[in-house]
Every structure is written in structure tokens, then in C-alpha cells.
Amino acid sequence: SITTNVGVYQLLIVYAFFMHTLFISSLDPEVVGRVEKASLSHQVLMELLIANIENKEEICDSGDTTIDIAKWDDVELDERGQVTRIIWSGYPLYGSINFQWLPNEVCGVWLNSVYISGTIDLTELPSELKEMTVSKNKLSGTINLKELPEKIWLLSLANNRLEGSLDLEHLPDSLKRLSLSSNKFFGEISLARLPKGMDVLSVNDNLLCGSVDLTSLPGGIRWLHLNSNRFIGETDFRFLPQSLKRFNISNTMLQGEIILHEEKKYFVAENSGVKISVKQPK
């Protein structure tokens, strides 16, 4: 009868939904490797991405993640229906993002001020990723900067709770802007092998220490913020690039003298042992 057929159809829908949910929940990030990830649809990957977000309704209506990702808020797709950009900055999300499930075709991620916690494995980011900002959150743990995507030019993880040492000697050549300020990173850093095209580096307001070698900075760097760290020692400032417009070493124990040929408003050395003077060339 028609009534019976409708009932069976409804049961099939419920069963399909149950099996889909069971499939998503059964996938273990520690077990499923990269090959398996590539075989999953973008719909499934996005569901895995926000599986640990408590208030999914901020992203998809009623919190139902099985809704087509084309209808999710601020998720951009290409003509093939693949996710290319995720723009959730300012969304009041609670929980953690499973970054390892970002689809490989994603080239931009914006997650500033969304209250997320948890960790972030930078070695598992999409190969096509070019821009990523996850600032002003509650991310914790350490980060590995040695295996960033080869195309990335912007990475900001400022204002989190990240810690550990920083390896700045193995960054991809594509990286132009790196902001790691206002975290809990510690130990010494090397600025001798930064990408040649880097123009912004901010590591201020951490627990970094030791001496700082400023003799081999990228020729086009414009911003360098080292302030509010535990850097110490006599420092050679003679080879600062002419391109440098903003340079902050305040609240450190560095010592030395910066001799400028013209006044630079945004060179700051307050509460340090560094003197800034301007001497016009003869």
C-alpha cells in the first residue's frame, strides 16, 4: 500500500542518516592516513573538521552538518563544488577544529577570534594553502614550522597559548608574513636563514631568549617585532636593511646603537640597552 511504502521510505532515510553519522564518528584521525583523506568527499572532510565544535549551528543551520556544504556559512566553493576558502573569523565557536581534515584544495583559512582551543599540526595542512590566520584564540601545545605548505605566504597564530621552541631556519621560500606574537614560545631563535622574500616577522611578547643576529635579514623586510622578550647581549645593528620601516626591540636586554641616516618613527627601543641616533650623511 502507499502508506506502507511511505513508511519504508522514511525508515530508509533514517537508516541512511544513522549510517552516515556512524561513519563520521568512527573515523579515527590516528588511523586514517593521507591516502584515505584524499579519497573522502569534501562534505565528509568538512563534517570531520568541525566534529568537535559544540555549537555547529553557527556554521550550518540547526547544527546539522549533513546539510550540503554549499549552504554552510562563509564557505567558498569552486566550480567543482570543492572547498577553497573558509572565512569564519568572528564566529563565536566553542570547542576545537580538527585542522588535519582541511580539504587539500583549501587555499585560505580565516579563524580569528573564534574562541577555539586545542592544538594545531602544521605538518598536516593542505598542500594548496596560501593564507592562514588563526589569531586571538586558545590554541595550545607546540608547533612545527619545518613542513609548512610550499605555497603559503601568510601565517598568523598570534595571541594564543602556544609554546615550545621556534625553528625559523626551515621556512618555505614562499612565506612573506609570519606572526607568532603573544604566545609562550621560549628558547633562542635564528634570523639568519629567513625566506628572502619575507617582509613581516612578529615574534614579540613571548619568552624568547639569547642573543639575536641581525646581520643577515631579508633585503626587503619591512616589519620586525622582537619586543617584550628576554633577548640579551651586545647586538650589531649596522646591517639593518633600508627597507625596514617598523622595528621594535623595546622591553628586551639587548644592547648597542642603531645609527640611522633619517628619522624612522616606528623604530622603538624603550626599556632596552639600545640607543637610536640619527646622523645625516655628510
Does position 13 have pLDDT exceeding 90, yes or no? no
Are residues 181 and 278 both part of a single domain? yes
The confidence score (pLDDT) of residue 125 equals 97
Residue 61: CB partners within 8 Å, gap ≥ 6? 67, 71
pLDDT for residue 47 is more than 50:
yes
Query: Where would I find the beta strands (DSSP E) of 6-115?
Result: 75-77, 83-87, 108-110
As a whole number of angstroms, the distance between CA 59 and CA 69 comes to 10
Q: Residue 115 and residue 62: Cα distance in Å, rounded?
A: 20
Structural domain includes residue 245: yes
Last residue of a domain, one of 96, 123, 154: 154
Residue 23 predicted with pLDDT over 60: no
- Domain shared by 273 and 218, yes or no: yes
Share of residues in the chain with pLDDT > 90 (%) = 80
- CA distance to 15, 21, 159, 186, 228, per residue, from 67 (Å): 16, 12, 33, 43, 46
Q: Would 28 be classed as within a structural domain?
A: no
57 in the same domain as 100: yes
Last residue of a domain, one of 154, 185, 218: 154
> Quick check: 259 pLDDT over 80?
yes
Question: Position of cell 612545527?
Answer: 144
State pLDDT tens for residues 99-131.
999 999 999 999 999 999 999 999 999 999 999
DSSP-derived letter for residue 35 is H
* 141 and 240 share one domain: no
Instruction: Compute how many other C-beta atoms are within 10 angstroms of the C-beta atom of residue 262.
Output: 9
Q: In this model, does residue 272 exceed pLDDT 90?
A: yes
Reference 102, options 117, 116, 122; nearest CA is 122
**2 within some domain:** no
CATH number at residue 211: 3.80.10.10
Strand-pair category, 75-77 with 108-110: unpaired
pLDDT on residue 18? 43
Q: Mean pLDDT over all residues of the chain?
A: 90
Claim: this prediction has a pTM higher than 0.85? yes
Range of the domain at 114: 34-154
Of the listed ranges 17-21, 153-157, 216-220, 273-277, the one predicted with least confidence: 17-21
Instruction: Give the containing element (helix H, strand E) for 23.
Output: helix 2-26
pLDDT of residue 282: 64
